[in-house]
Amino acid sequence: MPNPVPVHYTASPMKWLKRLAFGFLGLLVLAWLGLVVYAYWPTGITEVPAVNLAGPADRFVSVDGVNIRYRTWGEPGPDKPTALLLHGFANSLQSFRRLAPLLTDRYYVVAYDMPGFGLSDKPAPFDYRNAHQAEIGSRLIEALGLQRVVVGGHSLGGAIALRIALESPAVIGLVVMNPGIITTGVPAIAKYLVFPFPRIQAKLFGDPEFRTSFLKRSFVDPSIVTDDVVRDLSLTSRSQGYLKGMTNLMGQYSDAEEVSMLTRLTVPSLIVWGQQDRGKPAGEFEELKAKLPFNTAVLVPTSGHYVQEEAPAETAAAMNAFADRVMAPQGSATLIPGESL
């Protein structure tokens, strides 16, 4: 009998495509499982009550059941407005350590940690979006009995400060420092992140090495980000509720929503802008000047995003001059939308 002819079977292109698809899907599942393991791998950081981490200058007040850390500089007086200062994203009141002491001749200064940041409470679940943060800020003004308030904010804090200026009858002026009003500076992809990415982001921002490198990229002079600054910021991730609270917060990204509110502002405003802000598109300073009513605008060529830290003297000079403007007798100055220096 003749030898049988061997038969070779060749998989069809469709079968190969299916194998590739299942293989790719398997790799995605493995990668996702790896991310989950990383997200929940112990950080080695023991969270303790915030009061245990507080310094002698720290004070706490309860606002709507949330404990808020704040500090004060100077003394209140009948001829002084109160400067209420709001920090930016993933920062704390330490961001004003260089500016606040320079304001005490003209202001009674109060800076606080917004919920979710610094040594303030980090509840979860909680509404960490700007509108609710502004409600907390307005109620903080009431809780502390603050009067003649000039509300000032940096970055994210600038957007929230605008909302407070629109809500609180105690506010007589608004100061914004490279604010997240027209653009937030947060990549748009952040709003599409799903489990476990918010927790991964929370872990990253709790890591001192990551925080150092992330922060230094925003400075023209990175030497300002000293070991003491990093240690102060690292208190956040050591405080009770950090990982759950920050994970909850990281999942609440939203686009810039405050730009449409600018025309509603009825109090004088001041813009202090670090010209070398790498996170802001060209032209945003001019756009903000054109849209923010009743503004005086100061451009600081030598500073980046953290203008209050890199140029505290220039920022203080602008704010101290602004105090004279907001405290001037009613009717002694004409407010012109878009006014700038």
- Residue boundaries of the structural domains of the chain: 50-326
Residues 6+ apart with CB under 8 A from 1: none
The amino acid present at 319, given as its one-letter code, is: M
Is 104 within 8 Å of 74 (Cβ atoms)? yes
Residue 15 is encoded by which pair of tokens? 């079968």
The amino acid present at 335, given as its one-letter code, is: L
The predicted structure's pLDDT at residue 336: 41
Stronger pLDDT, 9 or 300, i.e. the higher one: 300
Is 254 within 8 Å of 125 (Cβ atoms)? no
For residue 8, CA distances in Å to 11, 14, 259 come to 10, 18, 68
**Span 261-272, mean pLDDT?**
97
Q: What is the pLDDT confidence band of residue 317, given thresholds at 50, 70 and 90?
A: very high
Q: Assign 95 to helix, strand or coil.
A: helix
**Span 268-279, mean pLDDT?**
97
Topology of domain 50-326, per CATH? Rossmann fold (3.40.50)
pLDDT above 80 for 140: yes
From the centroid of its chain, how far is CA 42? Answer: 26
**Span 242-248, mean pLDDT?**
97
pLDDT above 70 for 267: yes
pLDDT above 90 for 337: no
Alpha-carbon distance 70 to 228, whole Å? 19
Give 157-173 pLDDT, tens digit per residue. Answer: 999 999 999 999 999 99
First to last CA, the chain: 104
Alpha-carbon distance 316 to 92, whole Å? 19
| φ/ψ (deg, to 5) at 297 | -120, 135
Is 153 within 8 Å of 181 (Cβ atoms)? no
Place of tokens 């002491």: 101
Q: What size, in residues, is the chain?
A: 341
